[in-house]
Amino acid sequence: MLPHSKIKIQNSMTPPLQSSKRSLVMNASTSRLRRLGGLLGQGFLFSVTSLSTLTVFFIFYFIAKDAFPFFKLEGFREFFTSTRWYPSGDPAEFGTMAIFFGTGIVTLGAVAVSVPLGVSAAVCLSDVLPFNARQIVKPVIEILAAIPSVAYGFFALVVFAPLLQNHGGAVLAAGACLMMAPLLVLLVVVASDLIADRCSDLMRRKARWVAGLVLGAAAFTLMTYIGRQLGAIEIASGANALNVSIILGIMALPTVVSVSEDALQAAGRDLREGSYALGATRAETILKTVIPASLSGILAAVILGVMRAIGETMVVWMASGNAARIPGPWYNVLEPVRTLTATIAGDMGEADHVTGSSRFHVLFAMAFCLLAFSFVMNLVSEGIVRRSRKKLGK
Amino acid sequence: MRLKTRRLLDRAFSGMGLIAIGVMALALVVILTPIISKGTGAFVFRSTIEHRKVMSDHWGRGNADRVEKAKGQAAAARKPVYDLLSAFESELDTMPRAERKPYKKPLRDLQKALQNLLGPAPGARTPVLIRQQYGATRWDRAKIKLDEVLYTEEWDYSNPEVLGVLVKTPRVEQFCGTKLEPLFAYVEENSKPMMQPRWTFYWQFLFDTSKDSHIFGGIGPEVLGTVYLTLGAMIFAIPMGVIAAIYLCEYAREGRVISFLRICISTLAGVPSIVFGLFGLAFFLNTIHISDSKSVLAGALTLSLLILPTVIRASEEAILAVPRTYKEAALSLGAGRWHTVMTVILPAALPGILTGIVISMGRAAGETAPIIFTAAVSVGRPLLPSQVLSNPTPALPWNIYNLCTEHEAVDEIRHVQFGMVFTLVAVVLLLNVVAIIMRAKISKKLRG
């Protein structure tokens, strides 16, 4: 407001300027017009902004509008408690327990893949790698995030599923050994060191060697045993929960990495320097100081990763096998499952012609559950991030 | 704990991080390698004479004389095969009925396998389907078809404890001691003269329409459909997104309303893509009837809602990254707020905004779930720009799904599927590389 009032004062004091063609100084009516124009413009900007953001309400309204007729027609009980999904049967059955379960197990698998990998990668990015190396790794993450989901699904269906089906045991064994080997080596070294610490000074060196050898042999036997056991497994169908979990985990990685890296960065330098000053190594600093300080941010990253996995359609539709039942023992990830998103995508083609039937509306009911879940998750992660920011004083 | 152990643990910890990053890079390589290596196979491959026939018959391509000459050479090489077949048929006629019978089915199978490899026999009636009018068009497929001529395959389920085992037996065993016996050796030795394989760069794959549900031809309509959908989505998303970002950064005062709007935006970003598809169906098509059936317009609108949060966030970041001094300088010169935004802030933020737009373009091009119910069909002609308001279109992401799950001859058209995935991934990666380079330039400019 200040510039305007000044202009007015000038205006009354220097009349000759008004005569020039494009005066630098506005008279009162132009000023008022401008201000009105500004207000109108601002109103326009505000309405466009709110229109684009209020789409969320449109989405909620229109999904709910088509979802509630289902509950009116069929009630809540069957939908949430039965595992029998026969939408085209006579009488039709709409039990979605198995489908919810499929979504759950696939998401759990994706979290199991993406969170350990993602958080360690984020730690490495924020605390270990030098700046230049980071500039190389970042595009890798961006490209992983950019590959379209249908390409991931295509890979899962055309490349990964046949591989699992034909050489399932070997793939599992190789994967498990690759993952276990570094961890076991580490474990053996640390354990033998701890044992050696308890011996007297004279014996220490020898004790370390003996303990290392014995523990190493034990670890090696364990690994070969597990490898053999896994190698004997034959996978009946490559399109199963394991396949989808791994691919979804890779898809969720970029989200987990970038959000948790932000959280680790936000923990601040002074915290790290304080810990170093007390004599802690980098690993101790990160594990005991930085990660506890940024735990809420990492939690938000996990939630966002979960949301990415739950909402994904193409990969699960193409490669999960789409069998609407709970697998043998429930934790058997080698059996096909069916998820909410895949059911919506797959059944709408047939239900489209019968708009208004419960078969059509049940898909909207599922979509509404997805929507509500992602809304709640989103609020939770937002809240966590905001609180942690306040705590860190930023 | 000893200091040495602590150091070791420290190093192991860093190593674990490095391993994680290595696994990530490895995953990227593992996923991209087959897509790129097999995807280029749709463009560069050894084509047989059949491919050249298809090209000249349906698209009028290639040097007519040379195609005729190659056809002649191939026909000459194939003649002994058909001669042997007819000799065998006349031999059959002379046999007593009881001896003739066991040859009946093997002969029919052999003829079928030969037709898959070479196309219909000369003089036979022209089949209705285009796919039956030609033999194997690609040398890699031809080799598989050749294998099917030479061997019969059967699944052996005799041992119930293991899954079925594939047993291959040479087909020649079925015709031992007949006039047909030399045919197999001949076919095996003369496969190249019969098929005339030659390296081809089929760049028209990107623009050709497909014939006989993608068995011949290219992916022109799909590419065009994806371009329409992406551009349409950008037309709606860019103005809304940029305006919203300008308002949120420059005009809005932080308060209840704004934090509410921000929550809405982040919720919109978290909505699963399939729900966007359902919303598009329920709102654009079933409620306001934007078009009678699925249409590019409905799909583009749905996609634009999907990428709106991305555009808003990227533009916001770009606007906030403009140094405050720019704005203050403009204001101190007496420019109004609007004037400042239009002449100072937007030009300075433009590269950043463009980066965000390019990334969200890649996202819009690759999304499948929102267009399933609103825009995509499996087979269609390329649309004219005037038809986009009312007609559905084939699009790359949807057709990738469709071809590798619902097509009747999935294995026959692997190269088309890989070609489509390759095209889509290449487009998206290209857009992202552009964005990465742009961002690097901006950060250099801001630093120096």
Q: At residue B46, what are phi and psi to the nearest 5 degrees?
A: -90, 110
Q: Which residues of chain A lie closer than 8 angstroms to B7, CB-CB?
A: 281
Under the banding of pLDDT at 50, 70 and 90, the label for residue A248 is very high
Whether B40 is in a domain gets the answer no
For residue A391, with 0-12 CB atoms within 10 Å meaning exposed, 13-18 middle and 19 or more buried, which class applies? exposed
pLDDT tens digits, one per residue of B199-232: 989 888 888 888 888 888 889 899 999 999 999 9
Same domain, B302 and B227: yes
**What residues of chain B, 42 to 71, have a C-beta less than 8 Å from chain A?**
none
List the single residue in B16, B35, B268 with the smallest CB-CB distance to A55.
B268
Q: Pick the range with the lowest mean pLDDT from A9-23, B186-200, B352-366.
A: A9-23
Residue A15 has pLDDT above 70, yes or no: no
For residues A147 and A151, what is the distance between their CA atoms, to the nearest angstrom?
A: 7
Residue A197 has pLDDT above 80, yes or no: no
pLDDT mean over B293-297: 89
List the single residue in A41, A144, A150 with the smallest CB-CB distance to B400.
A150
Under the banding of pLDDT at 50, 70 and 90, the label for residue A392 is low
Same domain, B367 and B258: yes
Residue A19 has pLDDT above 60, yes or no: no
Contact at CB, A45 and B247, closer than 8 angstroms: yes
In eight-state DSSP terms, residue A335 is S
List the single residue in A24, A63, A190 with the smallest CB-CB distance to B5.
A190
Looking at residue B448, its pLDDT comes to 60
Same domain, B332 and B191: no
Contact at CB, B368 and A314, closer than 8 angstroms: yes
Contact at CB, A147 and B366, closer than 8 angstroms: yes
For residues B42 and B416, what is the distance between their CA atoms, to the nearest angstrom?
A: 6
Whether B213 is in a domain gets the answer no
Contact at CB, A125 and B429, closer than 8 angstroms: no
Residue A249 has pLDDT above 90, yes or no: yes
Under the banding of pLDDT at 50, 70 and 90, the label for residue A14 is very low
Q: Which of A59, A123, A127 to mutate to test the interface with B (most CBs of B within 10 A)?
A: A59
Under the banding of pLDDT at 50, 70 and 90, the label for residue A273 is very high
Separation in Å, CA A282 to CA A145, A297, A298, B1: 29, 20, 19, 16
For residues B232 and B325, what is the distance between their CA atoms, to the nearest angstrom?
A: 37
Q: How far is A356 from chain B (nearest CA, A)?
A: 11
The mean of the pLDDT values for chain B is 87
Same domain, B161 and B266: no
For residues B242 and B248, what is the distance between their CA atoms, to the nearest angstrom?
A: 10
- Between chain A and chain B, how many beta carbons pairs sit less than 8 Å apart? 279
Q: Which residues of chain A lie closer than 8 angstroms to B337, CB-CB?
A: 38
Contact at CB, B12 and A194, closer than 8 angstroms: no
Under the banding of pLDDT at 50, 70 and 90, the label for residue A354 is low
For residues B35 and B28, what is the distance between their CA atoms, to the nearest angstrom?
A: 11
CA angle at A154 for the pair A149 and A159, rounded to the nearest 5°: 135
SS3 A375: helix
Residue with tokens 């720019």: B326
The mean of the pLDDT values for chain A is 84
Contact at CB, B404 and A318, closer than 8 angstroms: yes
Q: At residue A245, what are phi and psi to the nearest 5 degrees?
A: -60, -45
Our count of domains for chain B comes to 2
Task: Compute the 3-state secondary structure of chain A and give helix, strand, coil in percent, each to the nearest 5.
Answer: 80, 0, 20
SS3 A363: helix
For residues B31 and A163, what is the distance between their CA atoms, to the nearest angstrom?
A: 13
Looking at residue A367, its pLDDT comes to 92
Q: Which residues of chain B lie closer than 8 angstroms to A58, CB-CB?
A: 279, 283
ipTM score of complex? 0.91
Contact at CB, B20 and A186, closer than 8 angstroms: no
Q: How far is A21 from chain B (nearest CA, A)?
A: 18
Q: Which residues of chain A lie closer than 8 angstroms to B21, CB-CB?
A: 121, 124-125, 129, 137, 140
Establish whether the linkage from the previous residue to A91 is cis, with ω within 30° of 0: yes
Q: Which of B274, B378, B417 to mutate to test the interface with A (most CBs of A within 10 A)?
A: B274
State pTM to two decimals: 0.89
pLDDT tens digits, one per residue of A161-183: 999 888 888 888 988 888 888 88
Tokens, residue A291: 């990660």
Percent of chain A past pLDDT 90, that is, above it, reads: 32
**What residues of chain B, 199 to 258, have a C-beta less than 8 Å from chain A?**
239-241, 243-244, 246-248, 251-252
Please provide the distance, in angstroms rounded to a whole number, between the alpha carbons at the two ends of chain A. 30
Looking at residue A27, its pLDDT comes to 76
Q: Pick the range with the lowest mean pLDDT from B32-46, B153-167, B318-332, B372-386.
A: B153-167
Looking at residue A20, its pLDDT comes to 47
Looking at residue B237, its pLDDT comes to 93
Residue A21 has pLDDT above 70, yes or no: no
Under the banding of pLDDT at 50, 70 and 90, the label for residue A157 is very high
For residue A102, with 0-12 CB atoms within 10 Å meaning exposed, 13-18 middle and 19 or more buried, which class applies? buried
Q: Are B188 and B149 in contact (CB under 8 A)?
A: no
Q: Which residues of chain A lie closer than 8 angstroms to B399, CB-CB?
A: none
Residue B285 has pLDDT above 60, yes or no: yes
Looking at residue A59, its pLDDT comes to 92
Q: CB-based contact (8 Å) between B438 and chain A?
A: no
Same domain, B69 and B123: yes
pLDDT tens digits, one per residue of A320-346: 888 888 887 877 888 889 999 999 998
Contact at CB, A148 and B425, closer than 8 angstroms: yes
Between A196 and B428, the higher pLDDT residue: B428
Of residues A60, A63, A57, the one with CA closest to residue A364 = A63
Domain that holds residue B240: 220-447
List the single residue in B9, B281, B338 with the smallest CB-CB distance to A283.
B9
pLDDT mean over B399-404: 90
Contact at CB, B264 and A287, closer than 8 angstroms: no
Contact at CB, B404 and A158, closer than 8 angstroms: yes
Q: Are A137 and A370 in contact (CB under 8 A)?
A: no
List the single residue in B16, B362, B436 with the smallest CB-CB distance to A139.
B436
Q: Which residues of chain A lie closer than 8 angstroms to B5, CB-CB?
A: 189-190, 193
Percent of chain A past pLDDT 70, that is, above it, reads: 91
Looking at residue A18, its pLDDT comes to 45
Residue A393 has pLDDT above 70, yes or no: no
Same domain, B305 and B440: yes
List the single residue in B240, B271, B432 with the smallest CB-CB distance to A143.
B432
Separation in Å, CA B206 to CA B43, B73, B165, B222, B340: 9, 30, 40, 9, 45
SS3 B95: coil
CATH of the domain at B342: 1.10.3720.10
Nearest CA in chain B to A59: B279
List the single residue in B35, B270, B400 with the smallest CB-CB distance to A378.
B270
Looking at residue A16, its pLDDT comes to 47
Q: Which of B259, B262, B271, B378 to mutate to test the interface with A (most CBs of A within 10 A)?
A: B271
Same domain, B320 and B397: yes
Contact at CB, A148 and B424, closer than 8 angstroms: yes
Residue A3 has pLDDT above 70, yes or no: no
Between A39 and B422, the higher pLDDT residue: B422
Query: Looking at the DSSP assignment, which residues form a beta bridge with residue B201?
Result: B44
pLDDT tens digits, one per residue of B94-151: 888 877 788 888 888 888 888 888 888 887 788 888 888 888 888 988 888 888 888 8
Between B120 and B448, the higher pLDDT residue: B120
Contact at CB, A59 and B281, closer than 8 angstroms: no
Residue B308 has pLDDT above 90, yes or no: yes
Contact at CB, A345 and B372, closer than 8 angstroms: yes
Same domain, B70 and B193: yes
Helices (H), B40-120: 49-54, 64-94, 97-118
Amino acid (one-letter) located at B147: D
Whether B1 is in a domain gets the answer no
**What residues of chain B, 251 to 270, have a C-beta less than 8 Å from chain A?**
251-252, 261, 263-270
For residues B240 and B350, what is the distance between their CA atoms, to the nearest angstrom?
A: 15
pLDDT tens digits, one per residue of B233-282: 999 999 999 999 998 888 877 788 888 888 888 889 889 999 999 999 88
For chain A, domain boundaries: 103-346
For residues A280 and A275, what is the distance between their CA atoms, to the nearest angstrom?
A: 6
Q: How far is A143 from chain B (nearest CA, A)?
A: 7
In eight-state DSSP terms, residue B208 is P
Under the banding of pLDDT at 50, 70 and 90, the label for residue B395 is very high
pLDDT mean over A43-50: 85
CATH 1.10.10 fits A103-346, yes or no: no
Q: How far is B177 from chain A (nearest CA, A)?
A: 38
Same domain, B103 and B189: yes
